[in-house]
Amino acid sequence: MGETLVIGHRNPDTDAICSAIGYADFKRRTGMADAVAARCGDINDRIDFVLRTFGVPAPRFVADVSPRVADVMRANVISVPPETPLMEALAMMDERNIRVLPVLDPDSRCLGLLSVFKASKFFFPSFARVSDSRRVVVSIRSLARVLCGTMLCAFEPDVENDLVLMIAAMRPASFGARLPSYAPEKLLVVVGDREEIQEAAIRARVRCVVITGGYNVSPEIRALAREFEVSVILCPHDTTTTAMLSRASVSVRNLLRSDHLAFRNDELLADAQRLAAASQFQAFPVVDDSERVVGMLSKSDFLRKVGRRLILVDHNELSQAVTGAADLEIVEIIDHHRLGAFTTQQPILFRNEPVGSTSTIVAEQFLLNRVELTPSIAGCLLAGLVSDTLNLTSPTTTARDADVLAVLEKVSGVNAREFVEKLFSSGSVLVSKPASEAITTDCKEYAEGNARFSVAQIEELGFDTFWKRKDEVAHALDAHCQSHGYLFSALLVTDVVLQTSLLLVAGDPRFRSRIVHPEAQPGIFQMDGVVSRKKQLLPYLTQCLRSLGNGNGNGQGNGQPNG
């Protein structure tokens, strides 16, 4: 499955969603046909308002991009039903150059595997089981099919028989002496045009007589076969070929290895690889939730490159990326945050610009490359820009953001000021969500030295709703901090109208003691003029952290703030 997911960070905000939609459209229009906008978190009411306003579908939800068995399996399953003669199965395996063939029932469920190794043991049994080289397990109809023969007489032709092959290349007296050594109903006699032996075999009531060489039989032999209810097949091949083909006419159901190892198509590739490496098998059926075979996996397939790739937007930190991102090829990063710790196997396009939103950078790519910018995409990018910059009032805003916004207003036909009022009044997470979800709707994890912590932000029209639910919110923040083992968890509640915020901090009391801002209420700090998590709050928090000795000394840890 080849596709390139353009995806924002976990708990995506409006800018992450809109820039993913916009950049995926840009990449498709510039030649990357497999670019798909994606998200690894839920959308909130405000994002839903943006999508509905501009008639754009939500990015595909992808919670985990870790490579799965389905990513490297071979979906064109070559299989046979259980009644297939071995000769036909081996011919198919030779033609397709495969060593293991799944045998499936009518519902595509695997009954077992047929391997070249298993077939060779059937044709060449060990010395202790040399008598098995004469064993023929077959129905009369299937035998005639493999021999390209004609059923002259056929009694119970579809009943599978476990027969002993006897080649009657001897004098009639010798043949007559050997016949009593076997139960006649278990004998498959292969003979040429020796009518005396044909008659003796029929009178002994053997199960089947195969007459080789393309010879015809006399009316008397035909009548005798019908009288004694002996099946007779006329075969065009010589005796040696007939004997070999008779052995190869066995149904594959008799040669299956039913103790095979199978994997589910959604199983983690790394888990499957560990099991496969310890297994004696060389190939493995891949099944879906209904146990139907949907692919085959060989040990060499684990070396195949996973076709899914990533373009990260609005973040450059693996701790904030979709689960499994570290196991895929990341081909581009488009961001506006400070650099986090990040390494790649090969050079990639990394565009990191000091502007107010990732949507600004994406819009600039359309404009600089003279790529058509549709009104709906322009509207999405406008929403991402004004959301992250609080309509150009955030400290992160640059002149480039203002210039781009003017173009987006013109293309989309949307007045930014009027749109912002509708956007921030379209939904409050403190109204629509439980406290435990509200505090993680726009939340990011950071690492600074040896410390891990989280910083979330909620943007509201006024603080009235917050004050009503402050106890619930504080309790949820504390639970979030403890459950993730963070040193602390911070929540910035921002009034987008008054351009000010309140700060709650859960976790280590020593860290809280380093915060010197005035308290609006016990444990709730008043952050006048602070509206940007990226440019204002995070530098302050890391400074407090360094004063505890938990940072790395220079303040340049792995933390990457969101706008």
The pLDDT tens digits for 458-482 are 988 889 899 999 999 999 999 999 9
Tell me what pLDDT residue 478 has.
96
Rounded CA-CA distance 281/503 in Å is 58
pLDDT tier for residue 1 given thresholds of 50, 70 and 90: low
pLDDT tier for residue 123 given thresholds of 50, 70 and 90: confident
Task: State phi, psi for 268 to the nearest 5 degrees.
Answer: -60, 130
Residue-wise pLDDT for 64-85, tens only, equals 999 999 999 999 999 999 999 9
Tell me what pLDDT residue 267 has.
95
Rounded CA-CA distance 81/293 in Å is 13
Interacting residues of 316 by C-beta distance below 8 A, sequence separation 6+: 333, 335, 337, 339, 340, 342, 350, 352, 560
Q: Is the pLDDT of residue 305 over 80?
A: yes
Return the number of other C-beta atoms located less than 10 Å from residue 347's C-beta.
6
User: Maximum distance among all alpha carbons in the chain?
Assistant: 117
506's tokens = 């859960």
At 400 the three-state DSSP class reads helix
Tell me what pLDDT residue 558 has.
37
Q: Quickly tell me which residue has 């994002």 as its tokens.
A: 47
Tell me what pLDDT residue 283 has.
92
Tell me what pLDDT residue 551 has.
47
2: buried, middle or exposed (CB in 10 Å: 19+, 13-18, 0-12)? exposed
Mean pLDDT along residues 127-146:
85
Tell me what pLDDT residue 128 has.
66
Residue-wise pLDDT for 415-444, tens only, equals 999 999 888 877 778 888 899 999 998 898
Of 61, 62, 49, residue with least CA distance to 387: 49
Tell me what pLDDT residue 559 has.
39
Q: Taking the chain, what is the end-to-end CA distance rounded to the nearest angstrom?
A: 34
Tell me what pLDDT residue 554 has.
37
User: What pairs with residue 163 in β-bridges?
Assistant: 136
Mean pLDDT along residues 483-508:
93
Residue-wise pLDDT for 354-398, tens only, equals 999 999 999 999 999 999 999 999 999 999 999 999 899 888 899
Tell me what pLDDT residue 530 has.
92
Name which of 127-141, 287-301, 514-528 the model is least confident about. 127-141
Residue-wise pLDDT for 131-140, tens only, equals 778 889 999 9
Tell me what pLDDT residue 341 has.
66
SS3 string of 234-276?
A: ECCCCHHHHHHHHHCCCEHHHHCECCCCCEECCCEHHHHHHHH
Tell me what pLDDT residue 552 has.
43
**Could you tell me if 41 and 64 are in contact, meaning their C-beta atoms sit under 8 angstroms apart?**
no
pLDDT tier for residue 555 given thresholds of 50, 70 and 90: very low
Name which of 120-124, 241-245, 544-548 the model is least confident about. 120-124
369's tokens = 């490359």
Distances (CA, A) of 400 to 356, 359, 392, 396: 9, 11, 10, 11
Tell me what pLDDT residue 471 has.
95
Of 110, 131, 102, residue with least CA distance to 247: 131
pLDDT tier for residue 561 given thresholds of 50, 70 and 90: very low
- pTM of the prediction? 0.67
Interacting residues of 199 by C-beta distance below 8 A, sequence separation 6+: 221, 224
Side chain identity at residue 39, one-letter code:
R
Rounded CA-CA distance 21/39 in Å is 10
Mean pLDDT along residues 506-514:
93
Q: Is the pLDDT of residue 112 over 80?
A: yes
Side chain identity at residue 354, one-letter code:
P
Side chain identity at residue 88, one-letter code:
E
Residue-wise pLDDT for 195-210, tens only, equals 999 999 999 999 999 9
138's tokens = 């077959």
Q: Quickly tell me which residue has 């995506």 as its tokens.
A: 12
Tell me what pLDDT residue 130 has.
66
User: How high is the mean pLDDT of the chain?
Assistant: 91
